[in-house]
Chain A
Amino acid sequence: MKNQRIKIYIALLSICALCIIGCTKVEYTEIKEPAYLRVFNNLNYVQTLGSKDDKVPYFCMLINPTMDATGEITGAEVIGDFFDKRDAYAPPYPSHIGNSTSLDNPEYPGKRNVLVAPMLNGFDLSSWAQVPSGSLRIVFAYRPKNTVPFLQLESHLKKDILIDTVINLGSKEVYTLHLLQKDFVTKEHGLLLREENFHKLPLSDSLVYVNFYNMSAKGFVEADASLKDGDYRLRSFMGGIKEEMNIFLSLYEDQGVLSHMAPTVPGYKGKYMTRVVRNNSSSAVAPYVSFPLWASSKTNGIQTTMWQRFDFFVPGMDITNNPIHSTTSNTEGNWAVVNCLLNGKVNLTSPDNGTMLPNMLVNVHSGIHNPRTFATVNTLEVVNGRIYMTTIQRKFAPPIY
């Protein structure tokens, strides 16, 4: 009898507790008719004695800012603060969050905790932020490189604006926005908004796609070497590339062999891919070119150790008639090389002038396979003396255990 009464009490108590908890209303942030936006700051800087008195291109991005009577920025609909120069590699998902203790954000959304785009036609768009569609006022304001949020800075530090313009975004479209130097001589800056189309294309699961852009500033390749970044790791890209370049692909069998003279996949040694022309004002998407994920006959269809090397040659030159020595960095823009292998941090041991980027193929543990290789969609962008890679990952069937 007594036990029964206790049970009834407990039951009543549980019901009461459930009722109270059930009353909490969770307000989910929602953007109606969103556009999907990813922003890169292609203005690079290095800390040198000569650039000590230059302004550091470190920004706060504000979308639809509000201002008070004096013209001081008081808030904004979307704020991308601590917006730093972009990393050489833009990963397919925002891995910066777990890998960094710094506030500096190499892209937007990057480390920001914002609503991101959903899975769209099988593409993981978690590196794209949801922003309102339609006409947006976008402002890039210079800010000091410290840890104070933009709106809390002293008012005289909030008035240095690089760009204040309006962009138009369509609903449920995918955009990348680039902050660029348009002219190396006049130091003119500008934006380039590109409406991406990879999610609308019928792309195959077993091909790796890549497209190329040269968004360098006008006059960069012609400029004196003393005005350019002298980082030795840029190697043959250091001086920039010429206006029009042909791109050739070589696929190497094994990324365990760190040499550009190692065996290549038959049919893929200096194979012509496409042509890239310098353009930092056109928003047209460059056509995607592809190579087979299982190009090598030595793979088992699950995993491959293949890596990629892209040679940029001025028209008329290719790997068979290249007169430049393989270690020369100063090619005067006639030849530039990028090697895509491992995590993009390991140098080749052979005498080579290629800069380094990560492998385009994603090798991860999946189900019973460790590792398993997946195809991706990539974009390679040359900006002045640097080459950047953006990898977009596709959604595959769930792993089998």
Chain B
Amino acid sequence: MKHRFLHTIFLFATCFVASCEHPDLTVVTPNENIRPAADFIKNNFEMTLFHAALQKTGLAAELNQEGPFTVLVPNDVAFNEIGVFRPTDFDRMNQDSLRRIIKYHVLPRRMFLADIPANGVDVRYATLEGTSLHTSLASFNPTGGSAVNDLFFDGASVLRKDVGLANGVLYVLDKVMKPQFETNIQALLTAKPEYRVFVAGLKKFGLWEQFGTAGPFTVFAPTNKALESLGITEEVLATMDVAKYNAEELFGTYIIYNKHFFISDSKVFSTINADGRYSYKLKGSPYVMTYFSNTSYPEWILGYNLELKSSDDVFAQIIARVEYRQRAKVDFLCTNGVVHNLETGLVKPGQALKK
């Protein structure tokens, strides 16, 4: 009996001693050197121009604060494409506009890819600037296939997702977003001299006033040069008889009514339902327009394609076919739609005569 008692004591004592041992366990310590947003951007060779813009607008200090922020950073190539090559180039810009645009690239929230709804199209998120941007995430095709997760903000493709920061998260964009804030399509087209002939044509053929309404519209705006190649100049326009031409064929062909399409939208829907094409008949005309976007050899830049046919017949004559690959000149987001630049004309006056 007594022995058993001693044995028990001995056993407990051994346990106590054993428990005093402290083996060195390797614990993974979290990285304490993650930088806040502005410092991260400063130290990244791909984002020097965005950093210069932050410096210029005085937003660098704000982005180093607690946050949380989601920063959408266009890389240096994106700035080069809109004509910004060195930090001093920002001096030529209107500082208030620059500040608004840069603030538009920052969201006051920590938004990881997983927080964005799968297959969400045009999901609106508030920006630091006060307005909201359009987010589209092409996750997968519901009828099967692997995950894609192509992410776009206002038509800009995301090159790199979910870069963790001490005070938020960072995405790298392939182009600078182009919100026009309070500007509508009328004001945008008027402000750009390269669309002078297009504007004159719209006015002459009674298609101009609608761009003052809510819309939405998608406009592929042809430059003066593009229209000249079709034989349309201001002088020719002045002599044209409105009654002889079908306005919707001559100038309405550049307009998609009641839709606002970013160039990326077609890419998004080619994932979601395997159909990124949008075909429609022009108003009051048998002409059929097909719009889609894709990437192609050799530059693999997301661009748009237009194909105009004389009818919906399989063997119908192709009137015009356009492939456009300059990502910096598309996706101008106005209050009542989206404007894309177009450098090829579509319909010659002779092809738009009333039958």
User: Knowing A146-B117, A226-B279, A226-B280 touch, does A49 contact B260 (C-beta < 8 A)?
Assistant: no
- Tell me the minimal C-beta distance from B235 to chain A in angstroms: 38
The answer to whether B269 touches A48 (Cβ under 8 A) is yes
Q: What are 17 A-to-B residue pairs whose CB atoms are below 8 Å?
A: A47-B119, A47-B121, A47-B269, A48-B273, A49-B269, A49-B275, A49-B277, A52-B121, A52-B122, A52-B259, A52-B261, A52-B265, A53-B258, A53-B259, A226-B280, A226-B281, A226-B312
Tell me whether B108 is interfacial, beta carbon within 8 Å.
no
Tell me whether A71 is interfacial, beta carbon within 8 Å.
no
Tell me whether B155 is interfacial, beta carbon within 8 Å.
no
The answer to whether A46 touches B279 (Cβ under 8 A) is no
- Tell me the minimal C-beta distance from B310 to chain A in angstroms: 16
The answer to whether A49 touches B122 (Cβ under 8 A) is no
A 46-61 to B, binary, CB cutoff 8 A, 1 in contact else 0: 1111101100000000
Measured between beta carbons, the chain A residues less than 8 angstroms from B259 are 50, 52-53
Measured between beta carbons, the chain A residues less than 8 angstroms from B71 are none
User: Knowing A146-B117, A226-B279 touch, does A47 contact B273 (C-beta < 8 A)?
Assistant: yes
Interface range for B: 20 to 34
Alpha-carbon distance between A48 and B265 when the two chains are bound, in angstroms = 10
- Tell me the minimal C-beta distance from B136 to chain A in angstroms: 9
Alpha-carbon distance between A176 and B280 when the two chains are bound, in angstroms = 38
Tell me whether B73 is interfacial, beta carbon within 8 Å.
no
Chain B's closest residue to A146 (CB) is: B117
Measured between beta carbons, the chain B residues less than 8 angstroms from A52 are 121-122, 259, 261, 265, 269
State the majority secondary structure of interface residues on B: loop
Measuring CB to CB, which residues of chain B are less than 8 angstroms from any residue of chain A? Answer: 117, 119, 121-122, 216, 258-261, 265-266, 269, 272-273, 275-281, 312
A 207-232 to B, binary, CB cutoff 8 A, 1 in contact else 0: 00000000000000000001000000
Alpha-carbon distance between A46 and B269 when the two chains are bound, in angstroms = 11
Alpha-carbon distance between A24 and B251 when the two chains are bound, in angstroms = 77
Chain B's closest residue to A226 (CB) is: B279
Alpha-carbon distance between A151 and B352 when the two chains are bound, in angstroms = 53
Alpha-carbon distance between A152 and B312 when the two chains are bound, in angstroms = 47
The count of chain A contact residues (Cβ–Cβ below 8 Å) is 9
Measured between beta carbons, the chain A residues less than 8 angstroms from B117 are 146
The answer to whether B266 touches A49 (Cβ under 8 A) is yes
The answer to whether B121 touches A50 (Cβ under 8 A) is no
In the A-B complex, the 6 residue pairs with the smallest Cβ-Cβ separation, listed nearest first, are: A49-B269, A49-B278, A50-B278, A53-B259, A47-B272, A48-B273
- Tell me the minimal C-beta distance from A188 to chain B in angstroms: 19
Alpha-carbon distance between A52 and B152 when the two chains are bound, in angstroms = 15
Measured between beta carbons, the chain B residues less than 8 angstroms from A49 are 261, 265-266, 269, 275-278
Alpha-carbon distance between A146 and B115 when the two chains are bound, in angstroms = 12
Measured between beta carbons, the chain A residues less than 8 angstroms from B121 are 47, 52
Alpha-carbon distance between A48 and B274 when the two chains are bound, in angstroms = 9
Alpha-carbon distance between A390 and B265 when the two chains are bound, in angstroms = 37
- Tell me the minimal C-beta distance from A391 to chain B in angstroms: 25
Measured between beta carbons, the chain A residues less than 8 angstroms from B260 are 53
- Tell me the minimal C-beta distance from B296 to chain A in angstroms: 19
Alpha-carbon distance between A50 and B269 when the two chains are bound, in angstroms = 10
Measured between beta carbons, the chain B residues less than 8 angstroms from A48 are 269, 273, 275
Measured between beta carbons, the chain B residues less than 8 angstroms from A50 are 259, 278, 280
Measured between beta carbons, the chain A residues less than 8 angstroms from B258 are 53
Interface residues in A30-52 (C-beta closer than 8 Å to B): 46-50, 52
Interface residues in A126-175 (C-beta closer than 8 Å to B): 146
Interface centre among B216, B260, B269, B277 (most CB of A within 10 A): B269
Interface centre among A46, A48, A50 (most CB of B within 10 A): A50
A 235-264 to B, binary, CB cutoff 8 A, 1 in contact else 0: 000000000000000000000000000000
- Tell me the minimal C-beta distance from B95 to chain A in angstroms: 34
Chain A's closest residue to B267 (CB) is: A49
Measured between beta carbons, the chain B residues less than 8 angstroms from A53 are 216, 258-260
- Tell me the minimal C-beta distance from A34 to chain B in angstroms: 37
- Tell me the minimal C-beta distance from A249 to chain B in angstroms: 31
- Tell me the minimal C-beta distance from A184 to chain B in angstroms: 17
- Tell me the minimal C-beta distance from B312 to chain A in angstroms: 8
- Tell me the minimal C-beta distance from B255 to chain A in angstroms: 15
Chain A's closest residue to B136 (CB) is: A52
Alpha-carbon distance between A47 and B268 when the two chains are bound, in angstroms = 11
Given contacts A49-B275, A50-B280, 16 further A-B contacts (CB under 8 A): A47-B269, A47-B272, A47-B273, A48-B269, A48-B275, A49-B276, A50-B278, A52-B259, A52-B261, A52-B269, A53-B258, A53-B259, A53-B260, A146-B117, A226-B279, A226-B312
